[in-house]
Amino acid sequence: MVIEIQRARIDVEAVVSSVRRDDAGAIVVFLGSVRSDPEVQALDYEVYKPMALRTLTELVERAKEKFGALEMSIVHRVGRVPVGGDSVVLACAAAHRSEAFAACAWAMDEVKRIVPIWKTEAGPRTPRSRRGRKVP
């Protein structure tokens, strides 16, 4: 299991490799990407890191119990992520694809529901004072 919150670009292949197991016949990978919009050039993500790491770790354990997933890793970016960039990568390994798809979908819903990460849109009308600001 890899649980990380980082400013750097996510290495998708490394996340996939972290869940590979000989007894896993299916690996489902979800990439959450910043979608283009006339008012959006990037998204700024802010995190309460110790709580987010704890919540992510707990939800991975719950996903394994609930769906029989064998392994799961989640990496989330913080700071500014441009349009087209991946802000989250989740990889889930299971014996068969049905468990892997179900666990992946459930875990992503939980990430959006309970993990303390907030986003703000950065676009052409974003005040200069907020552009490129550091987030904790």
Partner 1 sequence: MQVQVRLFATYREIVGAGQLAWTLRDGTTVGQLVEAVLAKYPRLVGHGNSMLLAVNHEVVRPDSVLMEGDEVALLPPVSGGAW
> Residues interacting with partner 1, by CB under 8 A?
32-35, 43, 46, 48, 50-51, 54, 76, 87-88, 108, 111-120, 136
**Do 1 and 72 contact (CB within 8 A), yes or no?**
yes
CB of 131 to partner 1, least distance (A): 14
Token pair 């500014």: residue: 80
| Cβ 10 to partner 1 shortest distance, Å | 13
Residue whose structure tokens are 């990407």 = 33
Q: Which residue has the tokens 């068969």?
A: 96
Neighbours of 30 (CB within 10 A): 17
Which is nearer to partner 1, 64 or 76 (by Cβ)? 76
Helices 97-114, 49-67: inter-axial angle, 10-degree rounding: 150
User: Which residue, 113 or 128, has its beta carbon nearer to partner 1?
Assistant: 113
Query: In the complex with partner 1, which residue's Cβ is closer, 24 or 74?
Result: 74
Shortest distance, CB of residue 107 to partner 1, whole angstroms?
12
Q: Name the β-bridge partners of 3.
A: 74
For partner 1, the closer of residues 70 and 103 by Cβ is 103
